[in-house]
Structure 1
Amino acid sequence: MAEALGIASSIIAVVDLSAKVLSLCLQYSREVKNAKDDIDRLHDEVAAFQNTTEKLEALLKEPRGMELKASQQLLSSIEDAHSTLEQLKHRLRPSTHRKAMSRFGARAFKWPFESKDVVGVIQTLERCRGSISLALNIDQIVILQNVDDRTILSQLPAAEGASFDSHAEEHNPTCLPNTREELLKEIDCWIDDPKSKTIFWLNGKAGTGKSTISRTVARSRSKQGDLGASFFFKRGEVDRGNLSKFVSTVARCLAWSTPAVAPYIRSAVNADPAIADKAVREQFEKLVREPLLKATATSLSRPSVFIVVDALDECEKDADIKLILQLFSNLRFAGPLCVRVLVTSRPELPIRLGFSSIGNAHQDLILHKIPLPIIEHDISVFLRHEFANIRNNFNTDAVEELKLPMDWPGEANVGKLTKAAVPLFIFAATLCRFINDRYIGSPDELLQSVLNVAGTGQGSKLDMTYSPVLRQQVLHRSGSERLDIIESFRLIVGTIVTLANPLSMRALALLLDVHVSKVTTRLSALHSVLDIPETLDAPVRLLHLSFRDYLVGLEERELAEFRVEERHTHQILAKHCLRIMRGGLQKNICSLPFPGMRRSSVDFGQLEKRMPSQLQYACMHWAYHQTSGEPKLSDDKDVYGFLTTHFLHWLEAMSLLGRVKECLDTLRLLARWVETLEGSSLSTFVADAERFVQAYFSVAAETPLQIYCCLAFVPRKSVVRRTFENFIPKWISNLPKVEENWDACLLTLEGHSSWVRSVVFSHDSKKVASGSDDETIRIWNAETGECERELKGHSSYISSVVFSHDSKKVASGSDDETIRIWNAETGECERELKGHISNVNSVVFSHDLKKVASSYDDGTIRIWNAETGECGDLVSLHGYAGVLSFTLDGRGIVTDCGTFPLTCSSQSRPGSAMPWQSSHAPMLACTDSTWVTAAGKDLLWLPPECRGGKVAVSGSRVVIGCLSGRVLVLGISMADMEQWMDTTNVHDKRVQQTSECNKKSRNLHLLNLIN
């Protein structure tokens, strides 16, 4: 900073000197005739020098002047120029003698330099000017690169409010001085110890102060300069309750906080602009792990990065919790990389299971097991601090006789409240906010109400925390007033704790169709439990999730009227969402000037104006509320009426919001909900609407108004087309000829770069696994087509993939002569089975998940222990065979060359075939190259690019791997399937040996169509 101030002051002095020297040169130019060339040359160089230094001065004065690193190093050049200019000024300034002579008419000016002196001065100034110009050029390039970096990194989506220093977290507390000292010291020691575990799990019950501690540590380490990123999960916030923006937020924070990492994150985004849409594991690898490793490899010192992940238990999906822990724990294997991750959460079962799965990669500390005297001391310090603030604030404007005494509330009362609060800091924090709420009473009055509840010793800690707040709502109210207050409380506060995403008071009033004053009045007495902003347009948030838990589970007889009935509240919100959308949605809602306008070009201000927050909320969450309420047939009719009128308007609105994927989720959610209703007319429309969105997903996601043009290409008998045929733009004069019905292709899964040899459905039909010649396995969501995991580890093509019977594991066989067992939820390779020197043809799990069977090119089948990786039975065959299934009891193995018993011996011959209970066998569908066949009957003809690989069937869906690397999911009419089942005695069929048991054969015959 001192050097920066030095360069700034030196530049100012040089600019000032340049101006003085120029003025003197002009005087000499007028008075001296015999040195005009030297004077002009010197004048021009000083003028050029002044121009350059003025630019530098202007840049250094700008807010980003401190970023001009090269220019900040110019002090020596500036000092040289200053010295030269000072000498020039001194020699050019007329002496006192010459001034006196001028009064007698003598010439006062005489050029004081020889030509060679002028050349030397000009060269010095040119050299200084060149150095300055070069530094400016360097700095400008760096600034442009930084702008480019910022532009690229801004493409990474960030979860709003997730960072510890975000506006949403701004007013949340940190630990007071002299509290949590030992705990904070222990965390600091763990961060600074290069030999400590990668993850520190700080766990505790609700209200024990976990978030306050993580916020304190994040702020402290940010000041020290080693905080890489922070992510505070919060259930009910759109992007803070899941992993949709978790990795991209962490990567973005790392790029800003750790300059050495930024270029590598930028390169990853440059290489794949859609990286933030990829599977979480791939995002983490490309945006976090690899950039950290590369930055470490190029650094002279071993950099340390600290990351905070708060309230992990508020992440919605159990599988995502496990995945986060797995990804961070794997960083311990990343060579010299020094990453420390503080994770806080409640000790919920999914969290405990997640930590047990990563073994000893973490150390933990249980907050509610910290010795009570320490907790009691910290809560006591907190209460004294807060009560002093309450007393001082109240006394500032209270009349003299009402002022609180300086010892208020008294040692005895502090002691009582401290003992009542232990071990919950949320109790202490809530009661202090409650006592400080001037809207509902004086501090002393409210203190007494808290002491009355605490003194009874009855009820849970949550009762003692929140019951004073509820009692105060109806204190001294008559019967009718009490009922009105409770009714509005359940409507307004019940809505706040049920919303999928927080809304402002204004949006809340519009959503519930009440006057905004009713909302503000009801919330005015709830500052102790809700984060209520000063403006009507900022979101209202819960201060702590435990308040929601308390209201939903409220059982205390006296306060049971305040209980929030979730299903009833959902039902009310669903009706209001439909009302808001009916009144707000229309075609071209943002008045886009032409049909092909991209969503990215829409002005955000225009979008916010045409689609206010209550309408946005309704569009995104109406189905969540609809399906979470009490199912009634009348609700079905309401939804049917809305969809058959506004489906395309809703899809357009969701496109503008960048939420087309959520449309598919919504329609599938509705489809499952409709199944619970009797006599519903909605299912046909929802199914067809889903096909419509799937078919034109990419169009809808990019160009909102093209949705209406897509109707021209929809099959003639489509329900959506028939319903909205009038919406086809009139300027499409010649409508194309289209099919009568939708074709069989439901999804095209793209991601593999080479032939997909093996595909399989999970046994719950929710996922598809594919193995490719690109040496990877991909796990796909069978409903959305999203790639959820990419599994890497094999060194040659994948010949076979299979799910376990609980759908939680995947086994893969490869030409690299190994089998790998993967966790399907996290993507972790749990076991590698190797030792047999031959290419793997096929793999399969036993029903009890304890064994894996694999067949090889050399005509053998090995049985492996899936838990230990040891090889057990070896079945030797006469030729090529593929493994199809274990028998139900696990004592036999079924191949396309027969069924063979498993014994305790090391080898079994194919002499004694076993009965196979085929009615319980898993579905394996295959192709004779041209047709998918079933018991000798042709079921599905395949085009050339879909031939040669394996095929799998689940219910009415068929999945096929293609030579191009694509995976196709086809839908087959259930009527056709049932007809085929009726004509095929699959229950009585026995697997027959085939003459095609040889290595060259690539045919695979359909053995059982039951999944």
Structure 2
Amino acid sequence: MGKRDKLKNTVKNTLDKMFGNEERNDIIKDSLETFLKILKNSSDFNPILKSAVGGVCASLEILNKKTKNKEDMLQMTADLAAKAQELASLKGQGNSSEVEHHFEELAEKLKSINTELGEKLNYSALHRIVQADRDTKEIEGYFQKWQAAYDHCKTQILFKIERDTTKIEKDTTKIERDTTKIERDTTKIEKNTTKIERDTTKIVKTLITSKLRNSAQAPHDVGPDKTPCTDGTRVTILNEIMDWVQDSDSPNASLGYWMCGMAGTGKSTIAKSLCLMLEDQQLLAGSFFCSQQIPECREYHHIIPTIAYQLAYYSCTFGETLEKVLEEDQSIALKEPSDQVKKLLIQPWEAVKKTGRFGGHAPVIVIDALDECENVSEVLKAIVPAIQNKQMPGLKFFFTSRPGKNVSSHLEIDSQVVNSGNVKNFHLHNVEKNLVQEDIRKFLKNKLQDVTDEQIQILVNSSGKLFIYAATTVKYIKGAEEWQKRRLHEVLHSAEGPNPLHIKPMDVLYSKIFEGAISVSECTAEERKESLKVAHTVVSTATPVTCDTISQLLGYDIETVQAIITSLQSVMYINKKDNKVYTFHASFVDYIFSAEHSKENYCDQLVHQILLEEACLSIMDKKLHFNMCNLPSSFLLDKEVEGIEKRIAENIPGELKYSCFFWAYHLGKCTVDEAVISMLETFIQKKMIFWIEAMFLLDKLPLCLDILEMALKMQLGKENEDILRQIREMVNMCALGKIQGRTPQLYLSIVPFFMEDIPIFDRFQRLMTVKKAGKTSRQLGSWRTPSGIECLSLSPDGSILATGLQNGDIMTWDTKTGVQKGDAFQGHSDRVTSVAFSPDGGKVVSGSWDSTVRVWNARTGAPKSIPGA
């Protein structure tokens, strides 16, 4: 019910009470005053309207005094008050100037009505009005005008409110649509931004990858399987390491941690668990797991570039700065660790530290099994001082290794000296035996759930402090389901039996594994020999190979090889990712190469390397031939030939690729006898050119040169060595002559120039014949320089050419490939007139028209000294 209806009901109720009531006039009077008060109050919000309404109320009071029809007067006044109150209630719903305008129009209309009424309220008119009841209709007419004025104003304001509401709804809808669009656009922008960041990061990382010699096999989560600690074991040790990781506030907090332990004490499993724990907290900045089995993981010069590469993934700031460093010094990846640490680690990390991104958290680099990396001391003597001097604040390094002078001389500290610059030491083999054996017990109970506690205790006692013993025992027992009980009994019996010679437990276990795999009672002598050859090959190849390659190298059926690997799965396994065979632990390699430890299972390196060298030469003799991949035309680049990758894979299979890459490696490892020389001569005479073709197709010409250099270090006879030198010169010409990727040009553009000098090319008489006039020499290659050359000098070993230029620079070149070695040496302000190498090839001295003599590091270009003129 509206306010107006309520007021009408009030009037009606009041009038009903008035009939028969002697105080009727007083009640009408009080009611009228109430309605007039309502009418006045309804206009308080607008001064102009208030004045006009005041005039209306004055007129109503005069009319009320003069009229006889008090009830009608009261009813009409109540009705007018209700309209005024309704209108007043709309004021709060609109504050615009348009609403105010409608109220002002109402005020003007009310004033106009008041003026009209005032003119009629003179004496004669009033006399006429009040004396004739019929004139009550005229009074009603004025009430109607007042009400009409209020109704018109109300209607206009309602229209305005409706228009505003509609507009607000439209605006709200538009805002909602715009908000939705903004949200969609924001999401799109975020996605695009993320994509741009990913693309930018990808581009940066692609550029970094192309310039760094990083190892793709070294991180903890790639390459051969790396197993973490069993749940519930090594908890105390891992907690202690994590305390070191999280200690960044202590003044004695060290940035380095070295875990040293004897073979088999569980260093690598702890390192793997640490990597997983650090990943969970986003604190693993990089990892490098050294491995004797994988060439790129045992070569020291891969460590710093690989860490830098992973740090670029971990931090965009690091990656962006690293890219700038690589742009400025494109040869840094080829330099020694002392230079690499400064430019690939320290300099980019300074940029990261300035951002304050990691706050109180310290990312960690994990480097495992330092002892399995060749010449690792070169890395340590560069990186350890940087750690000690806190040149990479906020970046921590965790190392593991066996004891050994090449590692301990850099990392071991005096336990009595407390210095935050030192690398924290932890000797794993010194952990109390009962603590280690408790962890071993947990491991064995987890893996051997059907074994009694008494039997577990026997195995624990046999393990001593060696986790590798327990792990290998588990692999051996569970290796063949149908023999588990028998193998368990054998191991328990061996553990309880006497050991008068104090043979190492691992030797006993490895011998037991061989005995189980190559049982004298179940294998013939030939089968035993085959099994040992397969095992010896696994540990003797230059790099891990597949079962198929092993079968081709040894001439065995692949099923035989796979069966032998399976029987030895306690110590070796086939990796599912690349199908290559790996050993589980370095201690097995130590065992099998030691005649004292392995006895009848011993692998004589010299003997087995001869076997592998002959196998490589035999495979190349059988499978190398002219036009290996049936290239259809000499007018096409190799990459333009349809299906070239498939052709290469089919025609240069794994065993042939291995033989092409590593025949000289095995040659260098064995004693060269007459049989090897005979096979090598046949290879040189008949297959050498096809080997070069295969290396062309595999895009390995630089490796081709390295292999020839390696072969020339052996005593192969003057005739063979002369041919190899000529071949090396020819391959060098190929590398410098810009014909890589154009394999047919080897025969069409290179061989004709060497046919007179290299007798093995007699078979190619149908090729173009090159006639030489007088004493001419072949140009092996030509290189452009940014300025004219004033002087040059060749290093004592002939591998580097130094050139002094007119613009004051000195440039060095690889004489094999023609590639510039590093950046130009810059320091002279005028033309360089003389350059020379020191006798050891380590320094270059230069003289210039700027009246100075300068001495440079031949490898890095850094100035050694600047004597006066």
TM-score by length of 1: 0.59
The 2-side partners of 1:379 and 1:766 are apart by 59
Please state if 1:665 is matched with 2:706.
yes
**CA-to-partner distance for each residue in 1:206-242, whole Å, 9 max, x for gaps?**
2222211211211111111121111111113132221
Decide which of 615, 637, 642 is 1:576's aligned counterpart. 615
The 2-side partners of 1:507 and 1:546 are apart by 24
Decide which of 320, 345, 353 is 1:263's aligned counterpart. 320
Structure 1, unpaired ranges of 5+? 1-110, 392-403, 834-838, 841-855, 858-1011
Please state if 1:346 is matched with 2:402.
yes
The 2-side partners of 1:430 and 1:199 are apart by 31
1:432 aligned residue: 474
How far apart are residue 245 of structure 1 and its match?
4.5
1:15 aligned residue: none
**CA-to-partner distance for each residue in 1:607-665, whole Å, 9 max, x for gaps?**
33332222211111112113322312332231222233222322232233342222112
Aligned residue type for 1:495: T
Contact 1:800 1:813 in 2 (8 A): yes
Q: Which has the larger radius of gyration?
A: 2
Please state if 1:146 is matched with 2:190.
no
Decide which of 492, 517, 524 is 2:566's aligned counterpart. 524
Decide which of 417, 422, 432 is 1:372's aligned counterpart. 432
Contact 1:644 1:723 in 2 (8 A): no
1:240 aligned residue: 297
Please state if 1:204 is matched with 2:261.
yes
Higher mean C-alpha displacement, 131-140 vs 746-755: 746-755
Decide which of 311, 336, 353 is 2:369's aligned counterpart. 311
Higher mean C-alpha displacement, 599-608 vs 691-700: 599-608
Please state if 1:193 is matched with 2:245.
no
Contact 2:331 2:822 in 1 (8 A): no
Structure ranking higher in strand proportion: 1
Contact 2:553 2:615 in 1 (8 A): yes
Aligned residue type for 2:366: V
Contact 1:599 1:655 in 2 (8 A): no
Please state if 1:460 is matched with 2:504.
yes
The 1-side partners of 2:255 and 2:828 are apart by 29
RMSD: 4.6
1:514 aligned residue: 556
2:95 aligned residue: none
The 2-side partners of 1:776 and 1:346 are apart by 47
The 2-side partners of 1:164 and 1:434 are apart by 25
2:532 aligned residue: 490
The 2-side partners of 1:128 and 1:495 are apart by 67
The 1-side partners of 2:823 and 2:509 are apart by 47
| Percent identity over paired residues | 18
The 1-side partners of 2:590 and 2:786 are apart by 45
Cα distance change, pair 781–273 in 1 and its aligned pair in 2 (3 A): closer
The 2-side partners of 1:563 and 1:697 are apart by 43
How far apart are residue 327 of structure 1 and its match?
4.1
The 2-side partners of 1:179 and 1:127 are apart by 55
Decide which of 697, 704, 708 is 2:735's aligned counterpart. 697
Contact 2:696 2:743 in 1 (8 A): yes
How far apart are residue 365 of structure 1 and its match?
2.7
1:163 aligned residue: 219
Contact 1:229 1:250 in 2 (8 A): yes
2:546 aligned residue: 504
Describe the SS at the equivalent of 1:442. helix
Higher mean C-alpha displacement, 172-181 vs 611-620: 172-181
Aligned residue type for 1:697: A
**CA-to-partner distance for each residue in 1:52-73, whole Å, 9 max, x for gaps?**
xxxxxxxxxxxxxxxxxxxxxx
The 2-side partners of 1:751 and 1:315 are apart by 39
Contact 1:247 1:280 in 2 (8 A): yes
> For residues 319-334 of structure 1, what are the structure 2 equivalents within 5 Å?
321-323=377-379, 325-327=381-383, 329-330=385-386
The 1-side partners of 2:861 and 2:810 are apart by 12
Cα distance change, pair 362–471 in 1 and its aligned pair in 2 (3 A): farther
Please state if 1:129 is matched with 2:173.
no
How far apart are residue 380 of structure 1 and its match?
3.4
TM-score by length of 2: 0.68
Please state if 1:448 is matched with 2:490.
yes
> For residues 764-775 of structure 1, what are the structure 2 equivalents within 5 Å?
765=797
Aligned residue type for 2:580: P
How far apart are residue 771 of structure 1 and its match?
9.6
Describe the SS at the equivalent of 2:448. helix
Cα distance change, pair 321–176 in 1 and its aligned pair in 2 (3 A): farther
How far apart are residue 164 of structure 1 and its match?
0.5
How far apart are residue 691 of structure 1 and its match?
0.7
Describe the SS at the equivalent of 1:169. coil
How far apart are residue 266 of structure 1 and its match?
4.7
How far apart are residue 555 of structure 1 and its match?
2.5
Contact 1:233 1:310 in 2 (8 A): yes
Contact 1:279 1:788 in 2 (8 A): no
How far apart are residue 547 of structure 1 and its match?
1.0
2:515 aligned residue: 471
How far apart are residue 541 of structure 1 and its match?
0.4
2:282 aligned residue: 225
Aligned residue type for 2:746: I
Please state if 1:718 is matched with 2:757.
yes
> For residues 98-117 of structure 1, what are the structure 2 equivalents within 5 Å?
none
Describe the SS at the equivalent of 1:531. strand
Decide which of 428, 453, 459 is 1:410's aligned counterpart. 453
Aligned residue type for 1:143: K
Please state if 1:685 is matched with 2:728.
no
Describe the SS at the equivalent of 1:236. coil
Aligned residue type for 1:323: V
Describe the SS at the equivalent of 2:221. coil
The 2-side partners of 1:304 and 1:751 are apart by 46
The 1-side partners of 2:481 and 2:461 are apart by 27
How far apart are residue 560 of structure 1 and its match?
2.7
Please state if 1:548 is matched with 2:589.
yes
Describe the SS at the equivalent of 1:423. coil
The 1-side partners of 2:462 and 2:439 are apart by 15
The 1-side partners of 2:829 and 2:505 are apart by 59
Aligned residues: 687
Cα distance change, pair 784–498 in 1 and its aligned pair in 2 (3 A): farther
Higher mean C-alpha displacement, 339-348 vs 258-267: 258-267
The 1-side partners of 2:568 and 2:794 are apart by 54
How far apart are residue 425 of structure 1 and its match?
2.1
Aligned residue type for 2:604: E
Describe the SS at the equivalent of 2:503. coil
Cα distance change, pair 240–191 in 1 and its aligned pair in 2 (3 A): farther
Aligned residue type for 2:603: V
Structure ranking higher in helix proportion: 2
Describe the SS at the equivalent of 1:309. strand
Decide which of 230, 240, 251 is 2:308's aligned counterpart. 251
The 1-side partners of 2:311 and 2:766 are apart by 48
The 2-side partners of 1:356 and 1:738 are apart by 68
> For residues 165-180 of structure 1, what are the structure 2 equivalents within 5 Å?
165-170=221-226, 172-174=227-229, 176-179=231-234
Aligned residue type for 1:469: I
Contact 2:732 2:816 in 1 (8 A): no
Describe the SS at the equivalent of 1:343. strand
Describe the SS at the equivalent of 1:365. strand
How far apart are residue 791 of structure 1 and its match?
11
Describe the SS at the equivalent of 1:308. strand
The 1-side partners of 2:835 and 2:344 are apart by 30
Contact 1:158 1:245 in 2 (8 A): yes
Cα distance change, pair 120–249 in 1 and its aligned pair in 2 (3 A): same
Decide which of 278, 297, 301 is 2:354's aligned counterpart. 297
How far apart are residue 585 of structure 1 and its match?
2.8
The 2-side partners of 1:756 and 1:750 are apart by 14
Contact 2:233 2:443 in 1 (8 A): no
The 1-side partners of 2:413 and 2:632 are apart by 55
